[in-house]
Structure 1
C-alpha cells in the first residue's frame, strides 16, 4: 500500500467513525429518513473481521459493516465500501458479492451493500456482480455513488453544514492537485475558510479540520503560509478556530515519541493538546492520565483530546 493510499484510506476510516449519521444524510438522504437514529448505530468491526479473513481478498480496504434500525423496527446491516483511490479496482464487484454472501452465510443477516467510488474515471460505474453456469445464475446488485458526480453540489449547497460536504470537496481537490501544490494550498484555505464561517459547533470544526488537514498534504513552506493565512483570518473575523493541534504536537517532537511507544511522550501528547485547547486541566484528569501505562489507550485519548467539545465530555470518556 502506497503512502498516498494510506492517507486516503485512513482519513475515510476515521471520518466515517466520527460522522456516520452525517455521511448517510449527505450521500443517501432517502435512507437517512428511514433510519431510527434514536436507537443509535453500531460498528460491527469484530464481526466484519471474521468475514474479511474468510474472504481472503488480500488487500485491505475501507470497508465498514454497521448495524442500524429502521423506523419500522427492523434491524438492518449495511456494508459500506469506500474506494478512495484514483485507480479503479476491477475486482470490486466480485468482492462486494463475496462479502455480502459471507455475511449472510455466517450471520443470516440481510445486508445492504453500498460502494463509494473516489476515482477520477467517469466511466467506471460498477453496480452488480453476476455469473452464469448452465441454467444457474448468481448475481448481486449494489448501490454506487461516484464522488465525481457530487462536484456540482459544492456550488448549489454552499450553505451546507454537513461535514461531508467539506470533506468530499477536500478529497476531490486533493486528487485534482496532485502535481500542483500551490493550487492545493489555495483550495485548502478556501475550504477551511468556508468551513469555519458556517457556524458549526467548535468540536465539529476542530475534528473536521483534522481530517482535511491530514488529507490535503502540503510541502512545509506552503503549510507555513497556509497557517499564517488562517491566523490572519482568525484575527480579521474574530473566529474561535484554533490552529491544528496535531502540528503543534509534531513541532514539539511528541509525535515521534508516541510512535516509538514511549509512555511519557504519549502522556505528554495528551496533556499538550488539552492545555492548548482548554488552558487548564483539572487535577482529577491529570492524575488519571499520569496513572495510565497503556500506550494504545493513550493514543485513543489523544484523538479524543483533539475532537471532544469540552473537558466534561473528555472526563466522561476517560472513565469509560
Structure 2
C-alpha cells in the first residue's frame, strides 16, 4: 500500500503536533519545506523536512522520515538530505525516523570509517495507544492501530476523530490515513473502517489509495455475500429446504442491486416456484 502518500497527508495536517509529541519540541510555528531542486533525486515522499520555530523564536530544521519497514539505506538517505537542507538553511537540525512496524535490524546510529551519524528513532509500535486515547491527541489517532493495545482501541480512535470538532475535510483525511495504516497490522481492519466511515472518507484525496488497494472492492464483495446469505436465510426460514439449483443461481449473481431486490422479495413470494420465476425475470 502507498503508506508514503498517507504519511504526506498526515504531515500536512499535523506538522505541529507530530514534532511536538515525538521530539518534545515547543512548537509555535512549523512549515513543510519545498523539495530542493532536481539534483536531490534521492528524496522520497516519505521524507518530510520542516522548519520549526519554538516559543522562544528559535528555528530548527526537522528532518523526519516515516517508514513502514526498516531498510538498511535509511540512515544514509537521511544523512544525505540532512546535508542538502543544512546547506540551504544553516540552522540546527534534528533528524528523526518514525518506524511503523517492528524490526530487529533498526538502529539509532550509522557509522563507517569516516562518519558517525546519530538520529532519533521513534518505534511507533512500542508506544502505548492508551495514552493517545486518554489525552485525546487527535493528530496521533491515525497511529493508534500500530501501537501497543492499538487493535483494541481502534474503535475509540475512530469515534474520537469522527465525533471531534475538526473540519470535515480534516476528519476525512485522518480517518482515511488511520484506515491505510491499519492495513499494516490487519487485512480485516481496513474493510471494517471503510464500511463504517465511507461516507466521509470519500472526501479525502487519500481515499484513492483505498480504492487502488482493493478495500473498496472488498467492501462490495462483503455486501454481495451478505445479500446472498440474506436471501437463502429468508427462503430456508419460509420453505425449510432450498433446492441446490436455486442456491447455485443465487451464488452466481454478482450484481448487488439484483441481489437486494431478490432479498426484499424473498419474504413476499408464496412458493419457491414463484421465487424461481422472479429470478428469471429480474436477471434477464
Do the two structures share a fold, i.e. TM-score over 0.5?
Answer: yes
Q: Residue 140 of structure 1: SS of its match in structure 2? A: strand
Structure 1 residue 117, shift from structure 2 partner: 1.1
Matches within 5 A, 1:153-164: 153-164=128-139
Partners of 1:18 and 1:149 lie apart in 2 by 23
| Contact 1:147 1:168 (C-alpha < 8 Å) held by counterparts | yes
Q: Which residue of 77, 90, 93 maps to 1:108?
A: 90
Partners of 2:182 and 2:56 lie apart in 1 by 41
Partners of 1:129 and 1:196 lie apart in 2 by 41
Partners of 1:248 and 1:25 lie apart in 2 by 25
Matches within 5 A, 1:60-209: 60-83=44-67, 85-86=68-69, 88-121=70-103, 123-132=104-113, 137-150=114-127, 153-171=128-146, 189=155, 191-196=157-162, 199-203=164-168, 204-209=170-175
The residue number in structure 1 matching 2:236 is: none
**Cα distance change of structure 1 residues 229 and 144 upon mapping to structure 2, 3 Å threshold:** closer
Partners of 1:25 and 1:129 lie apart in 2 by 25
**Cα distance change of structure 1 residues 167 and 98 upon mapping to structure 2, 3 Å threshold:** same
C-alpha RMSD over aligned residues: 3.7
Q: Residue 71 of structure 2: SS of its match in structure 1? A: coil
The residue number in structure 1 matching 2:226 is: none
Structure with larger Rg: 2
**Cα distance change of structure 1 residues 193 and 142 upon mapping to structure 2, 3 Å threshold:** same
| Contact 2:110 2:116 (C-alpha < 8 Å) held by counterparts | yes
Q: Runs of 5+ in structure 2 lacking a partner? A: 206-210, 213-284
| Contact 1:45 1:64 (C-alpha < 8 Å) held by counterparts | no
Q: Which residue of 10, 23, 39 maps to 1:15?
A: 10
Partners of 1:107 and 1:142 lie apart in 2 by 19
**Cα distance change of structure 1 residues 111 and 54 upon mapping to structure 2, 3 Å threshold:** farther
Q: Residue 45 of structure 1: SS of its match in structure 2? A: coil
- Which ranges of 4 or more aligned residues in structure 1 deviate by more than 4 Å? 186-190, 214-220, 225-230
| Contact 2:132 2:141 (C-alpha < 8 Å) held by counterparts | no
Partners of 1:73 and 1:41 lie apart in 2 by 11
Structure richer in helix, relative to its length: 1
Answer yes or no: is 1:27 the counterpart of 2:22: yes
**Cα distance change of structure 1 residues 74 and 229 upon mapping to structure 2, 3 Å threshold:** closer
Structure 1 residue 89, shift from structure 2 partner: 0.5
Deviation digits for residues 25-49 of structure 1, max 9, x if unmatched?
3323x21x2x3x1xx3222113xx3
Structure 1 residue 12, shift from structure 2 partner: 0.7
How many corresponding residue pairs? 202
Structure 1 residue 82, shift from structure 2 partner: 0.9
Q: Runs of 5+ in structure 1 lacking a partner? A: 177-183, 231-241, 250-254, 257-320
Structure 1 residue 214, shift from structure 2 partner: 4.4
Answer yes or no: is 1:210 the counterpart of 2:186: no
Partners of 1:167 and 1:195 lie apart in 2 by 9
Higher mean alpha-carbon deviation, 154-163 vs 186-195, is at 186-195
| Contact 1:19 1:163 (C-alpha < 8 Å) held by counterparts | no
